[in-house]
Amino acid sequence: MDFHNKKVLIRVDFNVPLDDNFNITDDTRMRAAIPTIKKVLSEGGAVVLMSHLGRPQKKRKEDGSIDVERFTLKHLVTHLSELLGGVPVHFCPETVGEKAEKMVAELPYGEVLLLENTRFNSGESKGDEALAEAMSKLGDIYLNDAFGTAHRAHSSTAVVAKFFPKEKKGFGMLMDAEIKNANKVVQTPERPLTAITGGAKVSDKILLLEKLIDFVDHLIIGGGMAYTFFKAQGGKVGNSLVEEDKLDLALSLLQKAKDKGVQIHLPEDSLIADAFSNDANTRYCSNMEIPDGWMGLDIGKKAIKDFREVILSSKTILWNGPMGVFEMPAFAEGTKAIALTVAEATKNGAFSLIGGGDSVAAINQLGLADEVSYVSTGGGAMLKFLEGEELPGIAAIKE
Ligand code: AMP
């Protein structure tokens, strides 16, 4: 695309966490959008940015009005300018309308205008067309670089695209990278392909597990999810997390995997605890014989060894979900060992994608983000992508 002398409207995901004094506590999402912004600026364009921040419609003030002070994007202006090496960043206290249009018209090329929180407009989350049309007046070109919200059909993430002709809309570089890396797993994986799944509940990951069984060679199931599979097979899992209504589903997933020739790897043992607490008494135990009053909160030593072998023999690795309650140091060992093994496999030449949610937090916490091939910025969006769903934010650009 030719950005020279163009006003380029970019949907970014600047939904960053702020502390009580409105300092940004993690600017990962902002940094992820910088390459696209810099590219447009360096090629002679001006950048108009829109993003949401938090849930201002849900968390209104006592009198029912929007809590502008808490959710304004103005808090991000100074840091954004710093990240862009001092490029001027102007702020418009409105998302759309006359004032915004005037500021866009007056915006010098080489500079940035940040619009107010898209979710201050009640139509945004409903995909309101009039709002999307008003947004479309704020740029000659529309780029979507907000992978983290690509699974939502909101005015700024999807609907706005319909007001731009095909040659005047496209993906930003973050979006491009997310899609290309996910496709290295989904479409063109080098085999063996191993998916490592974990996290709390089977019910959150049913679609993912079903989809994975269609195309992976090995499926590792750790975390709280695993106990539903053990119970379904007649194991004693004590007080571990179990979804009683998903026992049949667990058995049918195991059968489906068998039919398809997919090898399922469940943890042979667990680190069990007598309370859901970092200070609980703990010991290792087979997952078929967990006593009442005890619960599995991390995978055990044998499981770590088994999973390690599978991961190191893989050419493509996808990881979604921790192996245990890694937020408590006493139960972080399994997740840590898997993270280190994924890094080791990557060093040996495997492609590794950390696909969303708490496994991303775990990789970042361990400082291993640079030692895996790609860490996705989009939790829910990546999950939906891997589940095979067409994301509205992607579809809208292609239409
Ligand atoms: P998810 O968002 O589905 O990836 O789940 C992540 C959550 O699963 C984390 O907060 C973990 O603490 C939790 N989790 C992982 N393993 C277990 C377990 N064995 N028992 C209870 N919760 C777990």
CB atoms within 10 A of CB 68: 14
Would you place residue 57 in the very low, low, confident or very high pLDDT band (cuts 50, 70, 90)? very high
Within the chain, strands assigned E span: 7-11, 46-50, 89-92, 112-115, 141-144, 169-171, 193-197, 218-221, 236-237, 263-265, 269-273, 282-286, 289-290, 295-299, 316-320, 351-354, 374-375
Cβ(190)–Cβ(351) below 8 Å? yes
Half-sphere exposure of 182 (CA within 13 A, CB side): 25
Task: State the amino acid at position 332 in one-letter form.
Answer: A
Cβ(222)–Cβ(334) below 8 Å? yes
> What's the gap in Å between 325 CA and the centre of ligand 1?
5
> Of the residues 220, 274, 276, 325, which should be mutated to test ligand 1's pocket, given the most ligand atoms within 8 Å of the CB?
325
Pocket of ligand 1 (CB under 6 A): 199-201, 204, 223-224, 241, 296-297, 321-322, 324-325, 327, 357-358
Residue 31 host element (H or E):
helix 28-42
| Active-site residue list | 29, 201, 357, 380
**Non-local CB neighbours of 155 within 8 Å, separated by 6+ positions:** 118, 121, 123, 124, 126, 127, 128, 129, 131, 132, 135
> What's the gap in Å between 319 CA and the centre of ligand 1?
14
Would you place residue 157 in the very low, low, confident or very high pLDDT band (cuts 50, 70, 90)? very high
pTM of the entire predicted model: 0.90
> What's the gap in Å between 272 CA and the centre of ligand 1?
14
Which residue ranges form the domains of the chain, and what is each CATH number? 7-171 (3.40.50.1260), 179-386 (3.40.50.1260)
Mean pLDDT of 52-65: 96
Residue 279 tokens, joined: 């200070």
Q: What is the per-residue burial (b if ≥16 Cβ within 10 Å, else e) of 163-189? A: bbeeebbbbbbbbebbbebbebbbeeb
Which residue has a Cα nearest atom 12 of ligand 1? 325
- pLDDT for res 305: 98
pLDDT tens, residue by residue, 191-220: 999 999 999 988 888 889 999 999 999 999
Cβ(314)–Cβ(285) below 8 Å? no
Cβ(377)–Cβ(32) below 8 Å? yes
pLDDT tens, residue by residue, 16-52: 999 999 999 989 899 999 999 999 999 999 999 999 9
Give a three-class secondary structure readout of 318-344.
EEECCCCCCCCHHHCHHHHHHHHHHHH
> What's the gap in Å between 322 CA and the centre of ligand 1?
6
pLDDT tens, residue by residue, 321-362: 999 999 999 999 999 999 999 999 999 999 999 987 788 888
Which residue has a Cα nearest atom 6 of ligand 1? 199
Q: What is the per-residue burial (b if ≥16 Cβ within 10 Å, else e) of 85-94? A: eebebbbbee
